């Protein structure tokens, strides 16, 4: 591998090789780097123009290096690129003396005989230009190989169309492959292995399918209540459970073969309360005898949503007529974090006059995380409202009528806010 000066060094080395071959055929031959111009044809000097017109990733070596960053974006080592450099060599001179043909023949023979760019040529190219001082292409383990590119008349016409109003002249295409460059990042040393061991254990038949409330598999999970986990192999002795990587206490949980009921509370999670939002649940297989705990296998992670659960703590309404001013106080579980946005959504229950209102929570003087929030309102029409709390897009569940004897069985019945 080499530094970012390698591309310039390769161009300089190609220039030296071409100059040596061309001048052996024509004594006054010279070499120029850069795109061809119309003036070169007008001057008619004995000249070989070398133009790097395209750079591409080398297909054979593009992915041979290891990842350069960890999942936490820490540097593991230098970033690397393997490139192919594509050159157009154009030959100018007195056509009556066959100068272009003589130079082209000598250049092609020289590059065919020695296709590699040697260490001596690289060192000489670096010495020719102060801008390339410090380049380390010569230290690279791989060598750059020059090979002819077979190009049709159509290919050449497309390439030459790039050079605006430049007349075509005798040309040949070469590829320099491959040029490997890398950043100057220092590779991190891996931690040594204290003792190599091999463990063999049977595949676990533990499987995790779903988590839901205990009413049915479609009921939401709520903080401070029971939740049902379904799967397979749950009755094994010694299984574990984690939520967001936190070990869950299963000390007095009696699982069945395909389900278990747990209570979502801070006491089960080492005193930590889960936040409103998305969480990851995982079951861990028992640790085989004699194996280290960090090799413990488990199920895939199962994502679930923990929505806010609300209760109407107090409604204060003042004023007269058809509207009221006041505030609605809710108790909320889990607690609302300071970074979360809480909005109370009120849906008017009057079919003759429906409507929806969104109330922002009062945040001044509130100690976060908050188990209770106030939602002020003004000019709110009297009547009953269905209340739902929206915390960053996670909506509190509603209550359904479960008494089959009631006329509104299966319909939404709460939580309701009465503005009187």
308-355 pLDDT, tens digit each: 999 999 999 999 889 999 999 999 999 999 999 999 999 999 989 999
Work out the average pLDDT over 27-51: 92
For residue 148, the model assigns a pLDDT of 94
> At residue 15, does pLDDT exceed 80?
yes
261-320 pLDDT, tens digit each: 999 999 999 999 999 999 999 999 887 777 777 777 888 899 999 999 999 999 999 998
Rounded Cα–Cα distance for residues 176 and 35 (Å): 17
Residues 6+ apart with CB under 8 A from 420: 317, 324, 382
Rounded Cα–Cα distance for residues 216 and 397 (Å): 14
> At residue 406, does pLDDT exceed 80?
yes
> At residue 88, does pLDDT exceed 70?
yes
Q: Which residue has the higher pLDDT, 145 or 183?
A: 145
pLDDT classification of 69: cutoffs 50, 70, 90: low
Rounded Cα–Cα distance for residues 207 and 283 (Å): 8
Do 249 and 216 touch, CB atoms closer than 8 A?
Answer: no
Collapse the DSSP code of 9 into the 3-class scheme (helix H, G, I; strand E, B; otherwise coil) and give the result.
helix
For residue 333, the model assigns a pLDDT of 96
Work out the average pLDDT over 180-198: 77
For residue 3, the model assigns a pLDDT of 82
Rounded Cα–Cα distance for residues 203 and 225 (Å): 33
CA distances to 223, 308, 331, 371 from 311, rounded to whole Å, are 13, 10, 5, 11
**In the CATH hierarchy, which top-level class contains the domain 309-419?**
mainly beta
For residue 141, the model assigns a pLDDT of 66
**In the CATH hierarchy, which top-level class contains the domain 207-305?**
mainly beta
For residue 201, the model assigns a pLDDT of 65
> At residue 32, does pLDDT exceed 90?
yes
For the chain, which residues make up each domain, given as ranges?
6-182, 207-305, 309-419
For residue 289, the model assigns a pLDDT of 74
> Which tokens go with 165?
């109003």
Work out the average pLDDT over 229-234: 92
For residue 78, the model assigns a pLDDT of 74
For residue 215, the model assigns a pLDDT of 87
For residue 187, the model assigns a pLDDT of 64
Work out the average pLDDT over 111-138: 89
Q: Which of 242, 229, 228 is nearest to 283 (CA)?
A: 242
Q: Please check whether the two domains, 207-305 and 309-419, share a CATH topology.
A: yes
pLDDT-wise least confident of 36-50, 127-141, 226-240: 127-141
Do 229 and 211 touch, CB atoms closer than 8 A?
Answer: yes
pLDDT-wise least confident of 59-73, 184-198, 371-385, 405-419: 59-73
Q: What is the mean pLDDT of the chain?
A: 89
> At residue 115, does pLDDT exceed 70?
yes
Work out the average pLDDT over 48-57: 93
Rounded Cα–Cα distance for residues 207 and 189 (Å): 38
């Amino acid at each position: 591998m080499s530094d970012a000066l390698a591309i310039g060094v390769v161009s300089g080395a190609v220039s030296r090789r071409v100059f040596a071959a061309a001048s052996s055929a024509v004594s006054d031959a010279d070499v120029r780097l850069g795109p061809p111009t119309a003036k070169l044809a007008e001057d008619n000097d004995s000249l070989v123009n070398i133009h790097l017109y395209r750079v591409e990733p080398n297909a054979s070596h593009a992915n041979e290096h290891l990842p350069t960053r960890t999942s936490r974006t820490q540097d593991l080592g230098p970033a690397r690129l393997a490139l192919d450099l594509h050159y157009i060599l154009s030959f100018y001179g007195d056509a009556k003396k066959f100068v272009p043909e003589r130079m082209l023949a000598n250049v092609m023979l020289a590059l065919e005989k020695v296709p590699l760019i040697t260490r001596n040529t690289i060192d000489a190219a670096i010495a020719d230009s102060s801008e390339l001082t410090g380049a380390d292409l010569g230290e690279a383990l791989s060598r750059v190989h020059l090979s002819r590119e077979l190009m049709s008349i159509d290919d050449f016409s497309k390439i030459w169309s790039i050079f605006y109003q430049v007349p075509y002249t005798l040309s040949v295409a070469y590829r320099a492959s491959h040029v490997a460059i890398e950043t100057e990042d220092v590779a991190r040393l891996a931690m040594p292995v204290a003792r190599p061991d091999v463990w063999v254990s049977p595949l676990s038949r533990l499987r995790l399918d779903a988590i839901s409330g205990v009413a049915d598999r479609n009921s939401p999970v709520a903080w401070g209540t029971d939740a049902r986990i379904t799967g397979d192999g749950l009755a094994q002795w010694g299984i574990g459970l984690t939520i967001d990587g936190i070990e869950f206490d299963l000390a007095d949980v009696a699982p069945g073969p395909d389900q278990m009921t747990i209570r979502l509370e801070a006491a089960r999670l080492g005193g930590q309360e889960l936040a409103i939002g998305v969480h990851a649940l995982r079951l861990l297989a028992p640790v085989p005898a004699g194996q280290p705990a960090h090799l413990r296998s488990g199920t895939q992670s199962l994502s679930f949503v923990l929505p806010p659960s609300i209760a109407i703590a107090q409604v204060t309404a003042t004023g007269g007529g058809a509207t009221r001013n006041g505030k609605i106080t809710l108790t909320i579980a889990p607690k609302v974090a300071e970074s979360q946005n809480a909005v109370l959504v009120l849906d008017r229950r009057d079919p003759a006059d429906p409507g929806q209102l969104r109330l922002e929570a009062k945040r001044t003087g509130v100690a976060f995380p908050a188990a209770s929030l106030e939602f002020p309102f003004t000019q709110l029409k009297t009547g009953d409202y269905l209340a739902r709390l929206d915390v960053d897009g996670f909506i509190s569940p509603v209550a359904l009528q479960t008494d089959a004897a009631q006329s509104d069985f299966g319909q939404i019945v709460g939580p309701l806010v009465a503005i009187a």
